[in-house]
Structures are given as structure tokens and as C-alpha cells.
Amino acid sequence: MLAGDLPHAVSSADVATRKVEVVTSDASLESNRSAEAERLVADGLVVLDEVLVAEFVAELRGAFMPLLEEYVATSGPNRGVRRNQMYLPFEPPFSDRRLWGNQAVLAVVEQVLGPDFECIYYGSDTPYPGSAPQPIHQDGDALFPEWSERPPIYSLSVNIPLVDVDETNGPLEWFEGTARPADDIDPNRFVGPAGSILLRDTRTWHRGSENRGDAPRPMLALMYTRSWFHFPLQRPVLDRSVYEALPDPGRRLFRAADITPPLRAAGDRRRLGPYDD
């Protein structure tokens, strides 16, 4: 897209025109996940056909906003002008399996990352009215900056807006691929309903745009990575009793979380295997 062209807003209508027909057979569902995984690898971002149910999104939003307001009152903006990153507590409703263990999400993640992956980040990003646009950036440095080839994806971000996203309230903008975009390239832009699910290669160049609306635009952010990848952010914090009460898939996903008391003695740096608990 050349300078002067309008950014491409990816809306629910766009998703409808792009999605594979959804029917009840397992083969068709698998085909749908494969198509989404292919788009993610090719473009750096995909919007899933599924959205979280409205009642669950409302529950998440109702719990999130008071926590955010309290956090902002004591901490102030930390991601630019009137923009806040906040970690999520691993407690209801944020500990609900529909969030961290969404089957549509995990199916695509597994196709891209392989079967041994972890959830290493549990947070959020919220621009308030009057927020400034971010500089374009990647989430993290290149794995091998001296290598000109692009290695396979090793880290994925999952973003879920808790309110409808329109052109005014700070939609996410991104550029296809992982190469830094030229100055004359305009970004894609996501607009769509609350509960939409965006999967993004963390190497994709992106930014939060300014919020010109009259209310915050809260968006949850989870990160799934191959088990060997370490990201320099606080890991999810789980009480050990909460961790041990998780179903087996949850214990595998959060096996490298900050679990209190720790699963192993202090100083023991061995990592849990994919099926250890």
C-alpha cells in the first residue's frame, strides 16, 4: 500500500469474507485452523473466525476496569502518553479456561509453534482518550540479529479487546511480514467487536494508534512461546494451590509461571518437561 492510500481496516465484515466455511465436522474445523495458521505465518497476524461469547466478555470487562482504574491511580501511564500496560491476576474471571485455554486459539498455536509451548505472559494494553500513537515496534529483539534469514515463529501474542474497536478508539495497526516497513507503507488496522481474537507473530511491526474516542479501549494480551524461549517480562503469578488445581493442559501451559511456593527448591534451575507436574 502506497502513501496516500487509506489504511486497510480489518473489520468483522472482512473476516466474514475471508473465513473458511464453518461446519460441524472435525475435518472442516481442522481445515479452518490450518487456514488461519497459514495466514498467521504468511501475514504476521490473523483474526480468528471465533469471538468470545458476549456474557464472558462483559464479565472480564466488569472485573478488569476497576483493577485498571486502581492501577492507573497509583502508577500512571507506562506505555506512552495515557497508555497503560497492566499484568492480569490469575484469579476469576481471568483464570477461566475460556481465556487461557481457548480451543480455537490453542489449535492454531500448536500448528505454528508445535506441541510443546507455554503461556508466559498475562497482561493488557489500554489507551485512554487522548493517548498518543506509539512508534512502530516489534515485541522483543530478533532471535538472531546477525542472520538475514527469517527463522520460524517462536512467540505469539493473543489480543482480545473487551470493547468494540472502531476507527476512533485506538485500533491496533500492523504491517504484514516481519521486515521493517518502508516509510511509504501504510498499516493495516483492526476494527471489530469486543471478544475478537487476534493472533500475532511478536516479530510483526505494529503500534497502538491514538484514542480519539471518549472511553478507554482495554485489550487483554497473552503470549504463547516455544518452551525454550525466554521473554524479559514478568511471568504469570499463580499460587501453587491454584496451579495444582488446573487441568493437565493448564499445568503444562503454566509450568514456567511464577508459582508460589515454587515447584522446585531454590537454586534448582532445571525446567519442567512438557508433561511434568
**Could you tell me where the beta strands, DSSP code E, fall in 16-171?**
45-51, 83-85, 117-127, 155-161
* Best CA proximity match to 223, nearest among 158, 139, 127: 158
Domain ranges in the chain are 8-235, 237-277
The angle formed by the CA atoms of residues 173, 64 and 134, to the nearest 5 degrees, is 25
Element holding 68 (H helix, E strand): helix 54-75
- pLDDT per residue as tens digits for the range 97-148: 999 999 999 999 999 999 999 999 999 999 999 999 999 999 988 888 888 8
Q: Name which of 125, 124, 133 is nearest 212 in CA terms.
A: 133
Architecture of domain 8-235: Sandwich (2.60)
**How does pLDDT run across 155-178, given as a tens digit for each residue?**
999 999 999 999 999 999 999 988
d(CA 200, CA 77): 24
- Give the number of other CB atoms < 10 A from CB of residue 150: 14
Q: Tell me: cis bond preceding 66? Omega within 30 of 0 counts.
A: no
d(CA 233, CA 77) in angstroms, rounded, equals 17
Residue 119 sits at φ, ψ, to 5 deg, of -100, 110
Element containing residue 113 per DSSP (H, E): helix 103-113
What is the C-alpha to C-alpha distance for residues 106 and 129, in angstroms, rounded to an integer? 33
Strands 8-10 and 188-190: parallel
Per-residue pLDDT of the chain (277 residues; tens, 9 = 90+): 333 333 445 544 443 333 322 233 466 678 889 999 999 999 999 999 989 999 999 999 999 999 999 999 999 889 989 999 999 999 999 999 999 999 999 999 999 999 999 999 999 999 999 999 999 999 988 888 888 888 999 999 999 999 999 999 999 999 998 899 999 999 999 999 999 999 999 999 999 999 999 999 999 999 999 999 988 889 999 999 999 999 999 999 999 999 999 866 544 443 444 434 3
C-alpha 7: how far from chain center:
22
The pTM is what? 0.85
Query: Cα dist. 111→17, 39, 104, 153, 276 in Å?
Result: 23, 12, 11, 11, 22
Cα dihedral 173/176/181/185 (nearest 10): -70
